[in-house]
């Protein structure tokens, strides 16, 4: 089908959150499913819908691809025939998709309020201040590395300063690459991923320091910084930080033969107490390939754990490590209502909630992402 291009007025609205029209509130599940299916079919190859692992079922069932953020962006780039990439994830994922998109592709985030608390913990102003303070303190030759869960501006800074992006599955390879180039790395924005990864690589904890962006010189002394091999930005995921060692102890008491697998965004103590750690892709692989009769406690977002439990039942048992379930509330903002609105608007020739990374930033963010792809 033919979908019109953006008007100048709509271009001026880019990045502005547009409220969901009232007509899209209060729809029944049946009407929602029927209209989503019809809109998806009408748009055909003009659209590719991406669904992150943490997305809710009512949305993900309409996704053409599911996976983690990097895998989804790569898959979208293979669909250069799709003029529109509808990313059912959060802001930084849509930004990465825009950076990696083929020329002419437009990226849409169904609700622009779907941010990421971790990505928001490192702003470009804070990073530039940190960089200036490190230089003024005589800490030279630091290489910046950022987790993919960060704003495009942070990725661009890393690209421009010789650094790279990493994911939870390739963080060790990227850190090893970094240490071949510099004695000290600055890892943003997740301190836990950085600490857990470096520790597994044999770096002692006393060679890592935590940079608090709200304190002068990160709350550190020039001596402590000079001794550090890894400067960890004081950021975390509010979902994964909720898992505790006490939860692991309770699971083991109830299931002595069970295994515990957690995401590396969990705290150091939790990762140390678990049997295994891994990215979302790794967690899915380990559980689905485990022998029949296996019992797992999984420490990651509840939608992935619930879907995984259904997928491997009844041969295996999968439970969430947190009995109250850890929900990514910002990812949850992308509702089927929002998805329906953006799809039906495309049919009418209107693009809502487009995510655009400015050109200069896009170029350097792409450099940082490409470095990562060359490393792994
Ligand atoms: S789970 Fe954590 S890191 Fe992932 S999108 Fe949600 S807040 Fe961000």
pLDDT tens across 74-132, in order?
Answer: 888 789 999 999 999 999 999 999 999 999 999 999 999 999 999 999 999 999 999 99
Q: Which ligand 1 atom is the nearest neighbour of the CA of 90?
A: 5
Q: In what order do the strands lie in the sheet with 317-320?
A: 276-277, 259-262, 295-299, 317-320
2 pLDDT more than 50: no
Mean pLDDT of 141-145: 97
In the chain, domain spans: 8-115+331-356, 119-237, 240-320
- With a 6 Å cutoff on the Cβ, whether 75 touches ligand 1 is no
Rounded to the nearest angstrom, the gap between the alpha carbon of residue 36 and the centroid of all alpha carbons in its chain is: 25
> Nearest to residue 335, comparing CAs of 39, 59, 26, 40?
59
Q: What pLDDT does residue 321 have?
A: 97
Cα 328 to averaged position of ligand 1 atoms, centre (Å):
6
Cβ 328 under 6 angstroms from ligand 1? yes
Over residues 329-356, mean pLDDT: 96
| Ligand 1 and 239: CB distance under 6 A | yes
Nearest CA, atom 2, ligand 1: 237
CB 280 within 8 A of CB 265: no
Report the separation in Å between the CA atom of 45 and the middle of ligand 1, taken as the mean of its atom positions.
Answer: 30
Looking at 2.170.150.70, 3.60.10.10, 3.40.50.11690, 3.40.50.10800, the CATH number of the domain 119-237 comes to 3.40.50.10800
Q: How wide is the angle at C-alpha 206 spanned by C-alphas 168 and 210, nearest 5°?
A: 60
| CA 300 / ligand 1 centre spacing (Å) | 10
Q: Is the CB of 115 under 6 A from ligand 1?
A: no
What is the spatial distance between Cα 234 and Cα 117, in angstroms, rounded to a whole number? 12
Q: Minimal CA–CA distance to 158: which of 148, 171, 169, 172? A: 148
Nearest CA to ligand 1 atom 8: 116
- The pLDDT value recorded for residue 166 is 96
Task: Name the average pLDDT for the chain.
Answer: 93
Tell me the mean pLDDT in the region 36-65.
Answer: 96
Tell me what pLDDT residue 4 has.
39
Closest atom of ligand 1 to 93 CA is 5
pLDDT higher than threshold 80 for residue 3: no
Pocket lining: 90 vs ligand 1, CB cutoff 6 Å: yes
Q: Which atom of ligand 1 is nearest to the CA of 329?
A: 6
Indicate whether 6 pLDDT > 90: no
Q: Which two tokens stand for residue 332?
A: 């949850």
Q: Which CATH class is domain 240-320?
A: alpha beta
Read off the pTM.
0.93
292: left (phi over 0), alpha (psi -120 to 50) or beta: beta
Give the model's pLDDT for residue 17.
66
The stretch 169-196 carries a mean pLDDT of 97
Q: Is 99 in the pocket of ligand 1 (CB under 6 A)?
A: no
CA of 54 to the centre of ligand 1 (A): 9
Tell me the CA–centroid distance for residue 329 and ligand 1, in Å: 9
- The alpha carbons of the chain give a radius of gyration, in whole angstroms, of 21
Cβ atoms of 285 and 210 within 8 Å: the answer is no
Q: Are 114 and 342 in contact (CB under 8 A)?
A: no
Supply the CATH classification number for the domain 8-115+331-356: 3.40.50.10800
Q: Is the CB of 193 under 6 A from ligand 1?
A: no
Give the distance (Å) from ligand 1 centre to CA of residue 89: 10
Whether the domain at 8-115+331-356 and the domain at 119-237 fall into the same CATH topology: yes
Q: How confident is the model at residue 11 (pLDDT cuts 50, 70, 90)?
A: very low
- Count of residues in the chain: 376
Residue labelled with tokens 């967690």: 283
Q: Is 301 in the pocket of ligand 1 (CB under 6 A)?
A: yes
């Amino acid at each position: 089908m033919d979908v019109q291009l953006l008007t100048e007025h709509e271009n001026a609205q880019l990045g502005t959150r547009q409220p969901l029209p009232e007509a899209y509130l209060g729809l029944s599940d049946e009407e929602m499913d029927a209209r989503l299916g019809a809109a998806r079919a009408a748009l055909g190859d003009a659209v590719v819908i991406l669904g992150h692992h943490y997305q809710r079922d009512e949305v993900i069932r309409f996704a053409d691809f599911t996976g983690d953020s990097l895998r989804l962006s790569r898959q979208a780039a293979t669909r250069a025939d799709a003029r529109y990439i509808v990313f059912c994830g959060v802001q930084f994922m849509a930004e990465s998709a825009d950076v990696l998109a083929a020329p002419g592709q437009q990226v849409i985030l169904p609700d622009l309020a779907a941010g990421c608390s971790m990505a928001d913990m490192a702003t470009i102003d804070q990073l530039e201040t940190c960089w200036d303070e490190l230089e003024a303190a005589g800490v030279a030759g630091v290489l910046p590395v950022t987790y993919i869960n960060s704003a495009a501006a942070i990725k661009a800074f890393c690209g421009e300063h010789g650094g790279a992006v990493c994911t939870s599955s390739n963080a060790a390879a990227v850190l090893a690459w970094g240490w071949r180039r510099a004695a000290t790395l600055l890892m943003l924005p997740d301190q836990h991923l950085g600490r857990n990864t470096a520790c597994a690589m044999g770096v002692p904890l006393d060679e890592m320091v935590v940079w608090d962006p709200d304190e002068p010189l990160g709350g550190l002394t020039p001596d402590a910084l000079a001794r550090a091999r890894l400067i960890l930005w004081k950021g975390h995921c509010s979902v994964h930080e909720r898992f505790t060692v006490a939860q692991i102890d309770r699971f083991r008491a109830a299931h002595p033969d069970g295994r515990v697998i957690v995401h590396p965004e969990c705290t150091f103590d939790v990762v140390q107490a678990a049997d295994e750690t891994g990215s979302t892709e790794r967690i899915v692989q380990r559980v689905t390939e485990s022998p029949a009769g296996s019992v797992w406690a999984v420490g990651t977002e509840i939608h992935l754990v619930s879907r995984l439990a259904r997928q491997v039942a009844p041969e295996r048992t999968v439970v969430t490590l947190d009995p109250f379930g850890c929900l990514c509330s910002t990812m949850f903002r992308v509702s089927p209502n929002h998805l329906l609105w953006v799809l039906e608007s495309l049919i009418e020739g209107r693009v809502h909630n487009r995510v655009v990374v400015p050109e200069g930033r896009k170029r350097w963010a792409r450099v940082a992402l490409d470095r990562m792809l060359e490393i792994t």
